[in-house]
Structure 1
Amino acid sequence: MSAETPSADAEGAVAQPSNNRAALFVLSAFAVFSGTDVIVKLLAEGMPAPQVTFLVTAAALLLLFAHSFSTGRGPRLVPRHPRTALLRALLLAGDTLLIHYAFAVLPLAEAYLLAFLTPILVAVLGFALLGERLSAIGWAGVLIGFGGVALALKPGAAPLNLGHAAAVGSAVFFALSLVLLRRTKMAETDEALVSSLLVVLAPVALAVAAVSGGVSPVSFEDLALALAGGAMMLGGHVLLVRAFRIGEASVVAPFQYSQIIWGCLFGLFVFSTPVELHTLAGAAIIILSGWLVLN
């Protein structure tokens, strides 16, 4: 793997590079994101998915603004390189909208399997665009992790349709956004990287909701769930940005596979979905792949 020097954000705070610490941050990030997915799934039972995306994103944005201005860190919300920040935000907005469409028209297992192409794409893009050198063992870990996902999800065969294309497109957009995040880690504050995403995603999601069938009434309970989901979304993105600030993209990205483990746990305890033997076997392989990527 390529050697790195300590990086600093836009205000000079030094971040010592460490793939091990980055792995802890990204594991936490995807655990929190999985909690957000549970809330989104619950809310989507009573309203369109784009409306849910808007509510959760708006809540995250309000929480970020409240925290930043109450602590005197408001200026850190403004990107120093607006074009790059906007490009990353648009990539992530496209990723979100595409994966929501894929969830709507595909079995969940197939959509997840295709979306989990992201770590492989990041490893390839990290090599091609960033000059990162993942070891042979690391490459094996990436591929083994994808195999573990396939085993855990046990997807069925189905004719290809636009949903499959959307899921693949989502993986491409997410991979590009992660590589772009890695390239801009020294130019922006963590707050600016997160705020630019939320500022773009909220109105885009609202616009999609408006043109795709309107919006549904929102109850107080819905708002409370959206606030909780927004807090998790905000926390997840903060952890994700920090992970990519101190770790190599090709090493950090494969830990996205860990979401399948959280998905099993949340499915069991929240939605009463039983965990099958092949899922546990896949989870064990995913854990092995993470260890290989770090070596």
Structure 2
Amino acid sequence: MSDSVQPAAAVEAGASSNLRAAGIVIAAFAVFSGTDALVKLLSADFRVPQVTFMITLGALFLVAGRALFTRDVGALVPRQPRLALLRALLLAGDTLLIHYAFAALPLAEAYVLAFLTPILVAILAFAFLGERLSLVGWLGVLLGFAGVAVALRPGAVALNFGHAAAIGSALLFALSLVLLRKAKSNESDTALVATLLLVLTFSAFGVAMATGGFDQVTPHALALAALAGALLYAGHALLVRAFRIGDASVVAPFQYSQIVWGCLYGAMLFGAPVETYTIAGGIIIILSGWLVLK
């Protein structure tokens, strides 16, 4: 009797964890989309590397300040320094590549290629973590990508280095997400986020210095950067937690939800119209997430 009950309980616990992880990761991508909107606002007055540096530095100060306030500075030091550093380097490379892709491609094409990440996560989790995704789940992943394509309607153009950069960005982001599943249970979420922000801060600083240095910053811009930094910190903290408690192949497809949040922020802050194609793509994306959870 106990032999049959225990596996059933384990399956139920796993499903509950995936459901909680899905809710957390949806919140994470909503927060990230808010950060992106503030980046767009700041980029009207400053070069992107400077914007990235200001925001990341603000997030890093928040992480360090929280550790000092709670007298838990030790939480900033990862117990798996190699894994934490490798993940941070992957995400730093991801950021640099996607910025290049945004400069070289129409945003629609760059986003579609970047949203290959959930498919790549499912494949990598299957290959390296032994996670099994049902046939319906695989259908959900592919359907989600189709929803992104419907929402963004990418045009057909000749391939260039921008396309390669966007695909490379998706791969590095996918690898960083799969690495989270390799983190030990006693690894601090704070340490993972702090290591990432530290590497990103130095990377953004180097790119900013190599591309023209820094422009004078106004108090208003500093306030926006501080708010974006807070959102960036919260987004990464939520993302880490989601991938620590849920299966990577289940959680990753909810990256598609950024399309919905992007439309909302675009309409509220920039007066961007919500196209019928975007609504249709959003419905397909929601359906894909439901299929993956099944």
- TM-score under structure 2 length normalisation: 0.94
Query: CA offsets per residue over residues 67-95 of structure 1, 9 Å max, x none?
Result: 11101221111011211111000000011
Alignment of 1:27-176 (within 5 A): 27-176=26-175
Which runs of 5 or more residues in structure 2 are unaligned? 1-6
- More helix per residue: 2
1:194 aligns with 2:190: no
Return the alpha-carbon distance in structure 1 between the equivalents of residues 57 and 146 of structure 2: 36
Cross-structure match for 1:243: 242
Q: Is the 8 A contact 2:80 2:183 kept in 1?
A: no
Cross-structure match for 2:4: none
- 1:213 Cα shift? 2.1
Q: Is the 8 A contact 1:114 1:168 kept in 2?
A: yes
Structure whose CA Rg is larger: 2
Return the alpha-carbon distance in structure 2 between the equivalents of residues 66 and 117 of structure 1: 35
Q: Which amino acid in 2 is paired with 1:117?
A: L
Size of the aligned set, in residue pairs, is 286
Counting aligned pairs with the same residue, the percent is 64
Return the alpha-carbon distance in structure 2 between the equivalents of residues 24 and 72 of structure 1: 30
Flag as ranges the 4+ runs of structure 1 deviating above 3 A.
Answer: 2-6
Cross-structure match for 1:264: 263
Return the alpha-carbon distance in structure 1 between the equivalents of residues 237 and 116 of structure 2: 23
Q: Which amino acid in 2 is paired with 1:141?
A: G
Cross-structure match for 2:275: 276
Q: Secondary structure at the match of 2:181?
A: helix
Q: Is the 8 A contact 2:57 2:201 kept in 1?
A: yes
- 1:16 Cα shift? 10
Q: Which amino acid in 2 is paired with 1:102?
A: A
Cross-structure match for 1:24: 23
- 1:189 Cα shift? 0.6
Return the alpha-carbon distance in structure 2 between the equivalents of residues 86 and 168 of structure 1: 22
Cα RMSD for the two superposed structures: 1.8
- 1:5 Cα shift? 7.2
Return the alpha-carbon distance in structure 2 between the equivalents of residues 278 and 169 of structure 1: 27
Q: Secondary structure at the match of 1:18?
A: helix
- TM-score under structure 1 length normalisation: 0.94
Q: Which amino acid in 1 is paired with 2:235?
A: G
Query: CA offsets per residue over residues 270-293 of structure 1, 9 Å max, x none?
Result: 111111111100000000000000
Cross-structure match for 1:234: 233
